[in-house]
Each structure stands twice: as structure tokens, then as C-alpha cells.
């Protein structure tokens, strides 16, 4: 279900694909600011976005992003129509996304991390390991979280481990060092 925050804000066009940027985790101050815990703290996409989509409990709503700024390891966002804390409180727990068309074009062979979520992961012998469920952005290096029916694996997003990512086939081939899948 879609709803727009007001007629002067975002267009009525529904983005084909959404790119989740983070989760609204709390309010900030009394004037309707919200604290966003970003999925990728290094991303600057939020700071150039004008229109965002919030999703909570299966309902998506478009909003106009008036202002945003960095605050410690989080971001602060101000949405049109959230003029006081009571308006903002209702949005806590929402996932904030932008339309895929807001992304910069990529060179051939490049991809955005979010595109590999859902990919099958196989080792170099063709044995299925699991599916990428999310990316964990860590200071020491990013990790692909790969899950099968019974467990999760943390796969370093480095060339020494990732052999190939095939966007069209939606699969990733890895060459795990000894012991990586036993941890």
C-alpha cells in the first residue's frame, strides 16, 4: 500500500525498486527530527536525496526529505510534515529507502552491495552454501551474511575470498579459506 505525505512533496510515481538506507530508531529533539541508523555508514546517498520512502508494518509512504545531517554514527533526518516530536514518534521503526533511480550509474562489472542480497552462494566446487541475507558493514571490513537452513556464515567481502559475482545469474562464488565455514 502506498500513501504520500502531502501533495507538495514527492511525485506519485512509484519507484520500481527501493534501496534501503537504514532504520529510523528514535526521535531527536522536539521539532520532529528523527535518528536514522544507516545500513552503510559510509554512504552519502541520503544527503543528496530529496524523496524517500518509509516502510513500516507493510505500508509504504513517500516523504520529502527537508534536511539531513551526520550525527555521531547515525544520521538525523527532517521530513516534511513532521514538525513536532509526536509526528516523528509514529515513524520510529520504519525502514527509510530511496528509489533505485537515485543511485549513480555504475561502470560495467560494478554493482551495489544491496543488489547481492538474495544471491545463492556456492564454493568453487559448486557446493551450495546458502543465500546472502544482508551485508554487515564493519570497521575492519564488510561481511556478507550468508544463511542456509540451519546457520549463518560471515563471508569477508574481499577479493581473496570472493571469486566471482554473477549479477545476471544472481549467484556468488567464493573460495573460503580453511576453517571459514566451520566457525
Q: 71 and 120 share a domain?
A: no
Per the structure, the complete domain to which residue 9 belongs is given by: 2-102
CATH assignment at residue 70: 2.40.30.60
Q: What is the pLDDT of residues 73-95, one digit of tens each?
A: 889 999 999 999 999 999 999 99
Q: Residue 36: how many CA atoms within 13 Å on its side-chain side?
A: 27
Residue 154 maps to which CATH number?
2.30.30.240
Mean pLDDT of 87-111: 88
Task: Sort residue 93 into left (φ over 0), alpha (ψ -120 to 50) or beta.
Answer: left
Please tell me the pTM assigned to this model: 0.68
Count of structural domains, the chain: 2
pLDDT digits (tens, 9 = 90+) for 123-174: 999 999 999 998 887 778 889 999 999 999 999 999 999 999 998 899 999 9
Cell of 66: 527537508
- Integer CA distances (angstroms), 95 to 15, 130, 164, in order: 15, 25, 30
Could you give the CA distance from residue 65 to residue 86 in angstroms, rounded to a whole number?
Answer: 18
- Assign 7 a pLDDT band (cuts: 50, 70, 90): very low
Amino acid at each position: 500500500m502506498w500513501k504520500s505525505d502531502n501533495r507538495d512533496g514527492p511525485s506519485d510515481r512509484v519507484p520500481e525498486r527501493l534501496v534501503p538506507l537504514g532504520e529510523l530508531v528514535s526521535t531527536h529533539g522536539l521539532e520532529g527530527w528523527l535518528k536514522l541508523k544507516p545500513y552503510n555508514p559510509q554512504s552519502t546517498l541520503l544527503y543528496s536525496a530529496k524523496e524517500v520512502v518509509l516502510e513500516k508494518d507493510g505500508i509504504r509512504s513517500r516523504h520529502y526529505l527537508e534536511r539531513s545531517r551526520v550525527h555521531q554514527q547515525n544520521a538525523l533526518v527532517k521530513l516534511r510534515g513532521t514538525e513536532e516530536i509526536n509526528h516523528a514518534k509514529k515513524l520510529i521503526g520504519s525502514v527509510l529507502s530511496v528509489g533505485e533511480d537515485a543511485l549513480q550509474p555504475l561502470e560495467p562489472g560494478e554493482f551495489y552491495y544491496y543488489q547481492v542480497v538474495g544471491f545463492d552462494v556456492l564454493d568453487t566446487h559448486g557446493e551450495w552454501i546458502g543465500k546472502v541475507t544482508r551485508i554487515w558493514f564493519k570497521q575492519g571490513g564488510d561481511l556478507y551474511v550468508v544463511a542456509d537452513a540451519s546457520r549463518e556464515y560471515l563471508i569477508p567481502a574481499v577479493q581473496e575470498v570472493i571469486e566471482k559475482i554473477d549479477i545476471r545469474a544472481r549467484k556468488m562464488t567464493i573460495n573460503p579459506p580453511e576453517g571459514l565455514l566451520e566457525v
